[in-house]
Structure 1
Amino acid sequence: MLDITRQAAEFVAAIKPPDLPQRCIEAARIGIVDCVGVMIAGAAEEPVRIVAAMLAATTQNDGAPEIPGGRNLVASDAALVNGVAAHVLDYDDVALAGHPSAVLVPAILAEGWTLDASGAEAIAAYVAGYELWAQLAALEPGHLHERGFHPTAVMGTLATAAACARLHGLDAEKTGHAIAIGASLASGLVANFGTMTKSLHAGRTAQSGVLAARLAAQGFTASPDVLEHRTGFLRAHSPSGTPDIEHGTIDLGANWRLADLGINVKRYPTCYATHRSIDAMLGLVAAHGLKAQDVREIRVHTGRTQKLMLRNANPQTGLEAKFSMEFAMAAALIAGRVGLAELTDGFVLRDDVRAAIGKVRCTTTDEVMPGDQPFAPDDRVSVVLASGDVLEHAPVVHAKGSWTMPLTREELRDKFLDCATRVFDNAQSARLFDQLWRLDALKSLRELELTSHASRS
């Protein structure tokens, strides 16, 4: 049997900023930049306000800020509320069949702020958490979504525990305990997609990472073989029932999966399972000047697991619409875009949108592309016109913004500024982007302009 827990803990405890491949640093930077922007934009949403209202401010000097409001919170509470904000718009990046930045970044910023960590240490913590998550995912041939588990809240809890352990500088033994504590805090259900609770998954996962590392730092113990034991994490959460515990490969530090799999930045604030089809539908709308009255039917061919995530064929709210292929196609046709302005209850319930939703027909395939996403090899969209003619878009394998087709620095900056200027003025938003872009050179996370000037005056 593989000694997975020990080897993982040794890797996390030993990782240092100079060890990191440049490609990993670049990916971590992109994930952190994008997540902070989305977090700022999401902070005013109702789920975030509800969670924040339950948390008391602290007068202790070792707290961390609620972003962007600036209230001083204990680190675990800051990770919770900022994690909900990072995920509530479903605009945060995607990798490993989940949302690594939405859990890693809130935990790292909260605990790193408290510990006065440097930007380079924050990046190392991000890489450590991502690599652990990716290594464990590589040992499981099945897909967690199929069993009803949200990977962000399951694998992510171990990743945040590892990241926070790295920030604390815990030795391998205590890091193993932190990971094992996190293993017992992991949970989150796909059935709650399209509700406020999905964003709570991210907040609780970030909070659990802070808690697990702090407990381990104080001498709290857990099982040293929690990952590989026959009643442990990998078997308990295995959708296939056959995780490769006996003969799998543990190559942490040799095979840098972050450099290979990277981060997929979202261009639309909807479930990533819709993005390739949105690219295709918007392409058809733009190329042919399509209007709603021109279209009799919209046909989408996608993956079975993708459609499983997209559980709302007839959404009634903006939250539900984030998990609806039917809505995504309707918004692309009616508005010619799928943005934050379209993800509102009012837009979802418009008569023309409802009519367009009714024109969408989805079919699925069981085929899955290689890689870290449980998606079909491609998404295919065609439109049947009122005349009976059919327009077909070429199959879409990679969404724009993916690691294979990445956004440029300027495109990423544009998204960041669009998000951040919902709270900050243009000048502060631009400065914060530049700070985050050069994060590995920042001496202290406390230098980041993460809160509004009004809250600091």
Structure 2
Amino acid sequence: MDSITRKAAEFVAKFDLASVPNEAVHAARIGIVDCVGVMLAGAREPAVGLVACIATPATGSNDAPPAVNGLRYGAADAALVNGVAAHVLDFDDVALAGHPSTVLVPMILAEGHRLQSSGQEAIEAYLVGYELWAHLAELEPGHMHDRGFHPTAVMGTLACAAGAARLNRLPTEETANALAIAASLAAGLVANFGSMTKSLHAGRTAQSGIQAVRLAQSGYTGSLDVLEHRTGFLRSFSPSGSPDTEASAFRIGEESLAARYGVNIKRYPTCYATHRSIDAMIDLADEHDIAPDDVAIIHVHTGVTQRLMLRNTRPQTGLEAKFSMEFAMASAAITRKVGLRELTDDFVTRPDIQAMLEKVEVTVSEEKDAGDLPNAPFDLVWVTLRDGTVLRHEPVEHARGSWQKQLRRSEIAAKFGECAGILLPEEKVGPLFDRLYDLQTVNDIRELELL
């Protein structure tokens, strides 16, 4: 009998990159290059060092994948460390109500290094993981964030198991077991947003995908109806309580959702729920040359789920500020920037920033966009000045850098240079970007030499 679990396993095992639209391959390529840059930028963050302390370095073998801290580990632990580094700044790309690249890329780099996978095989692994995540999400009418689950850590665990199974060329039965094992390793709570644990979600998810495949290869088994069973993955994590568990509704392989939804490249190292409003606030400040002292109120109208994620109304640290619409508006209004330099404890606690937080008023809409993100159809921002003047920005449906407003190669390279340059010497940054952007031409992932 056909089932969602078996259809998923067959798709992964029999995936044919030649049948994939060019748009999907482009999404994978820019997702990978952007994630590597952000991962390098996050390498020296305290959370990465703390997690590295629980991983076991491997010695005496070039087969052990390198992590951004300069040490080599077994593949699962390398994925753990690099996954935390990729997500700790919250500067990684967004899609499918989560962060596919921040879990898939660390897994691919680690397992691909061990297997000496090609760039084309890396893209295949990325796309099978993305497509599985996307098509499973299509079966659920609700949003995981509303239930308190972080999709990156829940859906991402299955995606990473799929990608790792593809890299290892697992047959269908072993792939199904790997997915079943991964389904029981999935976990992550929205309540931990704004803390170090959010980045642990990414590292642990990348690690779990590799571990699930290792277990399946060894003969470890799981339930081969784990996705659709009434006590299985889809129902257990369902915010609506009514996912579609009919195999006929699961249309993986019939349409590329990577081509439809792509990836949204972040221009600001904050929760993506703030990005449309940041674009609007910076536009207003630039267009009207707004002096911060002239601002009476900054009004933001956004989505209810966006507001749920932006839990910190009066942040006192850089981590907390990443999940604060009030901080996003304060930084945009005062400096007309929201970048890595602004996401520091010292900047967040500046008296002028703290004072501006008090001037931000946020209202919400229950209306949801029909796309892959748990957003309202648009964000609205308007500013009331002390003299009573009201300055309004037109509704913002898509942030700059989104799949609908894509960045040019030069703009992606500029962000990569800003991020990777934190760790790498200048002469290595440009060549690394070019190799990653043209990943299909790379014969062996080891050629990338990230460090």
Normalising by the smaller structure, the TM-score range is over 0.9
Contact 2:3/2:247 (8 A) holds in 1: no
Contact 1:109/1:445 (8 A) holds in 2: yes
Task: Tell me the equivalent position of 1:179.
Answer: 179
Name the SS for the 1:73 alignment partner: coil
Task: Tell me the equivalent position of 1:125.
Answer: 125
Confirm whether residue 331 of structure 1 aligns to residue 326 of structure 2. Answer: no
**Separation (CA, whole Å) in 2 of partners of 1:26 and 1:412:** 13
Contact 2:105/2:126 (8 A) holds in 1: yes
Task: Tell me the equivalent position of 1:454.
Answer: none
417-426 or 195-204: which moved more?
A: 417-426
Contact 1:2/1:246 (8 A) holds in 2: no
**Separation (CA, whole Å) in 1 of partners of 2:283 and 2:21:** 36
Task: Tell me the equivalent position of 2:103.
Answer: 103
Task: Tell me the equivalent position of 2:308.
Answer: 308
Name the SS for the 1:221 alignment partner: coil
Contact 1:125/1:163 (8 A) holds in 2: yes
TM-score w.r.t. structure 1 length?
A: 0.97
Shift of 1:394: 0.5
**Separation (CA, whole Å) in 2 of partners of 1:87 and 1:207:** 14
* Amino acid paired to 1:218: S
**Separation (CA, whole Å) in 2 of partners of 1:176 and 1:413:** 38
RMSD, aligned α-carbons: 1.0
Q: CA, structure 1 residues 2+337, in 2 after alignment: closer, same or farther (shift >3 Å)? A: farther
Aligned residue-pair number: 450
Contact 1:428/1:449 (8 A) holds in 2: no
Name the SS for the 2:249 alignment partner: coil
Task: Tell me the equivalent position of 2:154.
Answer: 154
Shift of 1:62: 2.8
Shift of 1:188: 0.2
Confirm whether residue 340 of structure 1 aligns to residue 340 of structure 2. Answer: yes
**Separation (CA, whole Å) in 1 of partners of 2:260 and 2:181:** 29
**Separation (CA, whole Å) in 2 of partners of 1:291 and 1:164:** 52
Confirm whether residue 64 of structure 1 aligns to residue 61 of structure 2. Answer: no
Deviations 1:232-257 (A, max 9, x none): 00000000000011375222122100
Shift of 1:402: 0.3
Name the SS for the 1:39 alignment partner: helix
**Separation (CA, whole Å) in 2 of partners of 1:244 and 1:20:** 26
Q: Percent identity?
A: 61
**Separation (CA, whole Å) in 1 of partners of 2:38 and 2:400:** 18
Task: Tell me the equivalent position of 2:372.
Answer: 372
After superposing on structure 2, the runs of 4+ consecutive aligned residues of structure 1 that deviate more than 3 Å are none
Shift of 1:427: 1.6
Shift of 1:336: 1.1
Name the SS for the 1:341 alignment partner: coil
**Separation (CA, whole Å) in 2 of partners of 1:246 and 1:88:** 37
* Amino acid paired to 2:171: D
Name the SS for the 1:208 alignment partner: helix
Shift of 1:209: 0.4
Q: Which runs of 5+ in 2 are unaligned?
A: none
Name the SS for the 1:340 alignment partner: coil
Task: Tell me the equivalent position of 1:455.
Answer: none
Task: Tell me the equivalent position of 2:35.
Answer: 35
Shift of 1:61: 4.2
TM-score w.r.t. structure 2 length?
A: 0.98
Contact 2:141/2:243 (8 A) holds in 1: yes
Deviations 1:31-84 (A, max 9, x none): 0000000000001001001111222211244310112x4311100000000000
Task: Tell me the equivalent position of 2:444.
Answer: 444
Name the SS for the 1:391 alignment partner: strand
Task: Tell me the equivalent position of 2:295.
Answer: 295
Confirm whether residue 320 of structure 1 aligns to residue 312 of structure 2. Answer: no
Confirm whether residue 91 of structure 1 aligns to residue 94 of structure 2. Answer: no
Contact 1:152/1:201 (8 A) holds in 2: yes
* Amino acid paired to 1:65: P
Shift of 1:22: 1.5
Deviations 1:300-356 (A, max 9, x none): 000000000000011111000000000000000111100000101111111000010
